[in-house]
Amino acid sequence: VLDCLILLQRPWGGYNKVFVHADSLKVVNAFQNRHLAKSTSALVRRIYLILQTMDQWSIRHVPREKNQVVGRIVKMASVRIEDVHVFGNILE
């Protein structure tokens, strides 16, 4: 999640809406309850602060087996930023 949000904050990003699909139901529930500002996890607080800068954001649970492609894209993007292309539409 953090890797994607950092990519969206890049100067060429310019995105103000984020839709997060996560395979951890515990993480999804935590973010949906929005009691994260006082979390003891620095990572959770950082993600929450970035999300607060967005005009709109949502998070939903996606089973791990359906989320593998996204995970690979994020890992690739974090390694080679110059080769990443961000598309405005979600592919089904």
Give the pLDDT mean for 11-38: 74
The partner residues of 22 in beta bridges, in order of sequence, read 61
Angstrom distance (rounded) from CA 25 to CA 31: 10
**How far is 36 from 79, CA to CA, in rounded Å?**
28
User: 27-60 burial string, b = 16+ CB within 10 Å, else e?
Assistant: bbebbeeeebeeeeeeebeebbebbeeeeebebe
pLDDT at 17: 80
42 band by pLDDT with thresholds 50, 70 and 90: confident
Confidence of residue 70 (pLDDT cuts 50, 70, 90): low
- Take residue 54 and report the two structure tokens written for it: 């967005």
Confidence of residue 5 (pLDDT cuts 50, 70, 90): confident
pTM flag (> 0.75): no
pLDDT of residue 89: 59
- State whether CATH 3.40.630.30 applies to domain 2-81: no
